[in-house]
Amino acid sequence: MSKSTKIIVAGLAGLIVLIIVLSFIFPVENNVSNNSNKSKVSKSVDTSKVLSGSEKSQRSHEASKYESSKIELKQGQLNVISALQDSGWLSIEPKLNRAYINPDLWRNMKYRLKEDFAAGLAIYCADKKGTHIYWVEIYDLYSGKKLAKYSRTWGFKVY
């Protein structure tokens, strides 16, 4: 094997180990996202004209429930995010709710891991800003192309 081939193989092995670690640190949780929110709405509808008073207050209560409940990452999750930032695989701008990730790392994650990782980044940004509104947009670290977005209210979308 040539020296450059050995370097590529070592890099890929490191990437695979990192993805495996991420899948254990950010386990799939069904309560983080709501799959019913994934469908696209073709036109916006003003539901305030359709809903009765009790339905409006119930919707308002449900919305405030999401906004008022605080979620925090575990220390292990924070350590992984910190390690990814230190190694240059990830850059986060919490004030803008933006994360920039190495495209090789992103491409090698399975869909559910991407969703859970995005949810973790949304929680990270919200905690840094001191808010209870959890959302993030994820971009390619090199090209700036939008890769995905996650919102606790609207769910996860990959581009």
- Residue length of the chain: 159
What predicted TM-score, i.e. pTM, was given to this entire model? 0.63
Q: What is the pLDDT of residues 56-94, one digit of tens each?
A: 445 444 445 555 578 889 999 999 999 999 999 999 999
Q: What is the pLDDT of residues 39-60, one digit of tens each?
A: 333 333 333 343 444 444 454 4
Listed by start position, the domains of the chain span 3-29+73-158
Q: Name which of 127, 148, 145 is nearest 137 in CA terms.
A: 148
130: left (phi over 0), alpha (psi -120 to 50) or beta: left
Q: Name which of 100, 71, 73 is nearest 84 in CA terms.
A: 100
Q: What is the pLDDT of residue 18?
A: 65
Query: Could you tell me which residues come within 8 angstroms of residue 152 by beta carbon, excluding any fewer than 6 positions away?
Result: 32, 33, 66, 119, 122, 133, 134, 135
